[in-house]
Amino acid sequence: MSSTAGQVIRCKAAVAWEAGKPLVVEEVELAPPQAMEVRLKILFTSLCHTDVYFWEAKGQTPLFPRIFGHEAGGIVESVGEGVTDLKPGDHVLPVFTGECGDCRHCKSEESNMCDLLRINTDRGVMLNDGKTRFSINGQPIYHFVGTSTFSEYTVVHVGCVAKINPAAPLDKVCVLSCGISTGLGATLNVAKPTKGSTVAIFGLGAVGLAAAEGARIAGASRIIGVDLNSKRFEEAKNFGCTEFVNPKDHDKPVQEVLAEMTNGGVDRSVECTGSINAMISAFECVHDGWGVAVLVGVPNKDDAFKTHPMNLLNERTLKGTFFGNYKPRSDLPSVVEKYMNKELELEKFITHEVPFSEINTAFEYMLRGEGLRCIIRMDA
């Protein structure tokens, strides 16, 4: 065990004291892990849109002060009672959703939506005792999606930690703990395009480009990127996109444009925007008889999906996915191996890097729409 096992650790964390205000890097106290928890030393973390969305406190109950962050790579510092499959020194990816191994979802080969550990954005405390592990002078600092990786150390439920190959560079594979795996898995695990097929990707942000990368890995012959921002098209070529459509350039629904381009419709589509109109277009653009559309983006709470039932009766399939249908502990290690085997390219997703002291710069990049993923080096 490490020399700090069982003790309170003082470490630096980027604390969000109120919505939309710059994070403050300051010293926090982190309690040791309790039963079925592990304490991690975070080496690299990256910023995802979900962090920004909840930092801005849009559309949900605000909870502050809070430590955000959920895409990261680190090393196990110590483990709590009952933890048998992780030990200090293991290289890991903490994940915003989990795999308890015991519930119906975990025992199903079809689902990754663990009853115990699936994402909960409202909960700011640990499951074990309903309390936080972070504090400043006795004041609780709330957790975020069970990970809180904008801290030099964090405590996570063991079911939300994937043990990975120690040879994998954590500054690259850390991006696999959320958005990249979500897009990649939506294509490879859910849409499942065959070699030579035609795939449309709606939304060319990081998740959409990961979905395109999945189509490239699967051997799709045509990968059509659909986005309202034509500036994204050049970059998307690096992720396998062969053609592009901006719906604003046409005076007819984009699903009709795609049907004309593909002799009746694409074989597979993956929607990564959260726009209800894009979701409907993604479904209606697939070919009758065999077309499959997969929804990844999260809609607004009042949205309703409307399409004519004949679109389904004509043998089009509509599917949804959560975290690319990957079970975090069982499946993420093999995604890391795809990178190690050079099947999957991650470097092209990483467009910026900043030291931990400049974490607010990462937020500025994202708010300006600059780049894809910004890596935050915790030791710098």
* 359 pLDDT more than 80: yes
Q: ∠138-140-146 over CA atoms, to 5°? A: 145
Tokens 């694409």 -> residue = 266
42 contacts: CB under 8 Å, gap ≥ 6: 69, 72, 73, 74, 94, 149, 151, 152, 153, 154, 378
| Predicted TM-score of the model (pTM) | 0.96
Cβ proximity of 13 and 28 under 8 Å: yes
Choose between 5 and 130: higher pLDDT: 130
Q: What is the pLDDT of residue 97?
A: 98
Asked if 114 is an active-site residue, the reply is yes
C-alpha to C-alpha distances, 311 to 12, 200, 258, 329, 342, nearest whole angstrom: 54, 18, 16, 37, 39
- List the catalytic residue out of 4, 45, 50, 149: 50
By the 10 Å C-beta count (0-12 exposed, 13-18 middle, 19+ buried), 29 is classed as: middle
Q: What is the pLDDT of residue 163?
A: 98
- List the catalytic residue out of 45, 100, 232, 241: 100
Domain 180-321 has CATH 3.30.430.20: no
Asked if 106 is an active-site residue, the reply is yes
- List the catalytic residue out of 114, 174, 272, 374: 114
Asked if 373 is an active-site residue, the reply is yes
Q: What is the mean pLDDT of residues 236-262?
A: 98
Q: For residue 90, give both structure tokens.
A: 């293991």
Banded model confidence at residue 87, pLDDT cuts 50, 70, 90 = very high
Q: What is the mean pLDDT of residues 139-147?
A: 98
Q: What is the pLDDT of residue 60?
A: 73
Residue range 283-320, pLDDT digits in tens: 999 999 999 999 999 998 899 999 999 999 999 999 99
- List the catalytic residue out of 106, 241, 285, 374: 106
Residue range 320-356, pLDDT digits in tens: 999 999 999 999 999 999 999 999 999 999 999 999 9
**CA nearest 271: which of 200, 194, 177?**
200
Asked if 49 is an active-site residue, the reply is yes
- List the catalytic residue out of 11, 49, 317, 353: 49
Q: What is the pLDDT of residue 301?
A: 86
- List the catalytic residue out of 66, 70, 105, 287: 70
Q: For residue 65, give both structure tokens.
A: 């002060």
Q: For residue 8, give both structure tokens.
A: 């309170």
Banded model confidence at residue 1, pLDDT cuts 50, 70, 90 = low
Strand order in the sheet with 139-141: 9-15, 24-30, 134-136, 139-141
Asked if 11 is an active-site residue, the reply is no
Banded model confidence at residue 380, pLDDT cuts 50, 70, 90 = low
Q: What is the mean pLDDT of residues 209-221?
A: 98
Of the CA atoms within 13 Å of residue 374, those in its CB half-sphere come to: 27
Q: What is the pLDDT of residue 277?
A: 97
- List the catalytic residue out of 118, 133, 232, 268: 118
Report the mean per-residue pLDDT for the chain.
97
- List the catalytic residue out of 160, 174, 178, 272: 178
Asked if 50 is an active-site residue, the reply is yes
Asked if 71 is an active-site residue, the reply is yes
Q: State in words which class domain 9-177+346-377 has.
A: alpha beta
List the chain domain ranges. 9-177+346-377, 180-321
Banded model confidence at residue 59, pLDDT cuts 50, 70, 90 = low
**CA nearest 48: which of 118, 99, 112, 121?**
121
Cβ proximity of 179 and 186 under 8 Å: no
Residue range 174-211, pLDDT digits in tens: 999 999 999 999 999 999 999 999 999 999 999 999 99
